Structure 1
Amino acid sequence: MFNWLLKHWIVGPYILTVFRPWIKGMEHIPATGPVIIAGNHLSFIDSVLMPLVVRRRVYFLAKSEYFTGRGLKGALVRWFFLASGQLPIDRSGGKASEASLDSGLKVLARGDVLGIYPEGTRSPDGKLYRGRTGIARMVLEGQVPVVPCVMIGTEQIMPTGTFLPKVGRVGIVFGEPLDFSRYYGLDTDRFVLRSVTDEIMYALARLSDQEYVDVYASSAKAKRPAAARPAEAKPASA
């Protein structure tokens, strides 16, 4: 109920009026059945704008830090993210990450829409970085199509480290669904997982015209001089 009110009455109309997103390829999203929407990730506001324009409810895998804050602020942030369909994902690796990916598989098993950022984190400089193979595992285990989605201009209206977005127009482009049925049953083959992930990333690169860099975004962030890194926004606003 909260998600419906948020999308149609509280936040949705206001945001869509202010940012006036231009949209292409909405017809590529299946009207029913499980599907993964794989997106580039330029700004926190990506996770707000894209679900607002999709007719179906989109469940997003969000970093677990958003759900572990303390005090009243932490409780409010946790409630907001859970109520709006965000699911915590632990990126520390091992069993924690396995459990997080299983949460995504449960969404797909229900026949719902799952939103994922294969890069695992926001781009530090507007480029498109190497995808992590967790998305491939869910594609093959869930046996679902992937709709690539690119956000255009969101890093300009809400750069990393800012608390409030600026007024500006952004674009949202959905590509044709990607079919990986030829790989079903091979979800334990690491070479297949990498191949599926790379194909998804190349589809995003074609749609977005971003420069593709074959390293992980987290590694690129770690190598940047401290002075060049924008201050990370707090979970309540980032």
Structure 2
Amino acid sequence: MSLAERAPRGTYAITAAVGLLVLIAATVSFVLQLVTAMLTWPLLLCSSGRLRFHTIQSRIWRTTLPILCVGLNPFWRQKTHFVGSAAGPPDIIPGSVIFVNHRSNSDPFVVSWLLLLSCIEAKFIYKSSLSKLPVLGWNCVLAGDLAVHHGDKQSIVKMLDKAREVLRQGYHVLVFPEGTRSPSGLLQDFKPTFFQICEELGCPAVPVCVLGTERAWPHGGFRMGCATVHMAMGEPVMPGQGGADALSDQVARQMQEMAREVLMDREADENAAEDPFVSGKPYAYWRPPKEIEDLLPEDQMKLLKAGKGHERGAHLA
């Protein structure tokens, strides 16, 4: 049985070790953020200074976290790739929206490492429930990350207005456009909101592809494992004819092309053909939930790409 056919499994030992690194990173960063906040709080007195305040906080958080949790993590081997001659956000105003596929809870950690290596600072879009976590949530709030309150339309509108202001000031925003993790590995349909914002403001869309994180922190549990993680950043895509839908399609296509180039051409990975971004099929080890297992394969694929046919197969209506 090849590696691609074996379901990823975490261990308690690795989970404890990585969890300790996360705790140390969050605590060290929080102390540094508090000390810095005491020195820079006057920036909060004016609207233009608030973004500078949070940017300083973000640089502390997004330096400490990836160095301790990814760079010094012996269990997650990371490989960084830049695809194209001008990969990454261009140095222009408005800022760029960085779009990342979502396979695992470890994605924010490894993406932070990629941004650190690229000398890029970005505000992350994250679930509001994370802000309630002790220390970790406080780190994100101080860093000025933008929380999504699912089901609260008024809060979502305010968050989107903040995102527009961040972009207008020349800062970057990072979003997982699928909206949720993909347990099958297939690239799910993107939510249109931030592509519409790109079109509205003329923001570049920067595609980032993350591969292998499904083994670093397997979906459906809290145990972590060993993994080789590939992170690829591509060239920015500018809004053009066709509107937000065309931009979304181009970013999705570029993510998959980057995955093929990284796995098959640059790395010559023997398991590359089994990756969903290459094969167009779910992980070899993945099994559909009982709610959709009797459907035709093409119908299953439609549901999976729509984000409705994973372990939440009951949400088919």
Shorter-chain TM-score tier: 0.7 to 0.9
Counterpart residue identity of residue 224, structure 2: P
Partners of 1:130 and 1:198 within 8 A in 2: no
Deviates most, 35-44 or 207-216? 207-216
C-alpha change, 1:203 and 1:93, in structure 2 (3 Å) is: farther
For the residue of structure 1 that corresponds to 2:253, the secondary structure is: helix
Higher helix share: 2
User: How far is 1:100 from its partner?
Assistant: 2.4
Partner of 1:23: 80
CA offset at residue 214 of structure 1? 5.2
Q: Counterparts of 1:85-124 in structure 2 under 5 Å? A: 85-92=144-151, 94-124=153-183
Aligned equivalents of 1:84, 1:32: Cα separation in 2: 21
What per-residue deviation string (whole Å, max 9, x for no partner) do you get for residues 40-75 of structure 1? 0011111111122221212110012223x3xxxx44
1:156-195 alignment runs, 5 A limit: 156-182=215-241, 192-195=243-246
Distance 1:96 1:53 in 2: 30
Q: Distance in 2 between matches of 1:199 and 1:214?
A: 19
Q: Hey, what does 2:309 align to over in structure 1?
A: 220
Q: 1:44 aligns with which of 105, 114, 130?
A: 105
Residue of structure 2 equivalent to 1:186 = none
1:221 is paired with a residue of what secondary structure?
coil
Unaligned runs of 5+ in 2: 1-32, 34-56, 261-276, 282-300
| Paired position in structure 2 for 1:65 | 129
Q: 1:41 to 1:14 in 2, by over 3 A?
A: closer
- Give me the TM-score of the superposition, normalised by structure 1: 0.76
Distance in 1 (CA, whole Å) between partners of 2:259 and 2:188 is 12
Q: Distance in 2 between matches of 1:101 and 1:32?
A: 22
Amino acid at match of 1:42: R
Contact 2:126 2:145 in 1 (8 A): yes
Please state whether the residue corresponding to 2:220 is helix, strand or coil. Answer: coil
Question: Structure 1's 222 and 90: CA in aligned 2 closer, same or farther, altered over 3 A?
Answer: farther
Q: Deviations over 1:11-66 (max 9, x none)?
A: 51452132231111175113633111111001111111112222121211001222
> Percent of pairs identical after alignment?
20
Look at both structures and tell me which one has the larger radius of gyration over its CA atoms.
Answer: 2
User: Residue by residue, what CA displacement relative to the aligned partner does 1:151-193 show, whole Å, maximum 9, x if unpaired?
Assistant: 010011101233353232210011121111446xxxxxxxx33
Deviation, 1:223, is 4.7
Determine the structure 1 residue equivalent to 2:191.
Answer: 132
1:80 and 2:139 matched = yes
For residue 200 of structure 1, the aligned residue among 251, 254, 262 is 251
Contact 2:69 2:109 in 1 (8 A): no
TM-fit CA distance, 1:206: 2.3
Identify the residue that residue 4 of structure 2 maps to in structure 1: none
In the alignment, residue 158 of structure 1 is paired with which amino acid?
Answer: W
RMSD of aligned alpha carbons: 2.7
Report the equivalent of 2:22: none
Q: SS of the counterpart of 1:66?
A: helix
Which protein, 1 or 2, shows the higher relative CO under an 8 Å CA cutoff with sep ≥ 6? 1
Distance in structure 1 (CA, Å) of the matches to 2:154 and 2:302: 26
List gaps (5 residues or longer) in structure 1.
Answer: 184-191, 227-238
Residue identity in the other structure for 2:82: G
Corresponding pairs, count: 213
- Contact residue 89 and residue 204 of structure 2 kept, 8 A: no
Give the counterpart letter for 2:246 in structure 1: S
